[in-house]
Amino acid sequence: MVSIYHCSLELHDNLYFATREIGRLYETEAVLHNYALCYALGLVDNPRYGTQVDEPEYEYRYFCRHQVPKYKQHLSRLNDVGIYVTPAIALRHTSSLNTWKYADNRYHVEMTKTQKNIPSFGRAKEIAPESQFVFFVISRESIGLKFPHWIRLGKWMSKARLSVDNMIVLKKENEDFLCQHPLNPLDVMSSHRVQSFDTINMPPVSLIQNVFCTGSVYLASFNGRSIQLPAHMKFTF
């Protein structure tokens, strides 16, 4: 049997990551990718769950030397121990638009006359503090996950408060159902027949929501609210 955790996030800083680049506008979608959440929750390289990363250069927590993601090597370990994290979607959110400016700094390198210094600018659309997100963590009952109270997300390592509650879980076999929560298509299509969905374009893998599919389903409820989530999801690359 599995445990499903209802996880709520409340932002305490502006959250920024570039979901879309429209000219000089860099926009943050009100959806958090499940890859990013795995790192933020501390599930990768965690001896408690047996997900240690055997890489001397692994320094992603504070510094990334090579800027090369290794999602397959890191997140496949969560499949081995039976942990899966869904993407997160905003329950309520507001956005803030910030303008930043930069200039041509070539004159700092060579003390000779250069072209005229022409300033430029860009705008970042960020998710504002007090915005709230929800996502789900599915794990084997025997694991006994422990979650941090605070995590950090995005380019600015924004601070967010995490609240976690256990859900009541029922499992049904082979039926048609609708999952309105965002999902990673690579993870759900490996075990279910997906018939229709809406796409959320974002890197590194676009997500889907309002997914109508056929297969095993978990019916999970918490505080009078229920949700249907595909069973047997795992990280697939």
Q: Which residues contact 155 (CB under 8 A, 6 or more apart)?
A: 16, 17, 18
Question: pLDDT higher for 50 or 125?
Answer: 125
Mean pLDDT of 52-71: 67
The pLDDT confidence band at residue 80, using thresholds 50, 70 and 90, is: very high
Torsion-angle region of residue 145: left (phi > 0), alpha (psi -120 to 50) or beta?
beta
CA distance 77 to 205: 19
Summarize pLDDT for 140-188 with one digit per residue, the tens.
987 889 999 999 999 999 999 999 999 999 999 899 999 999 999 999 9
* Residue 161 in tokens: 């408060």
Nearest to 4 by CA among 83, 87, 63, 58: 83
Nearest to 91 by CA among 137, 147, 130: 130
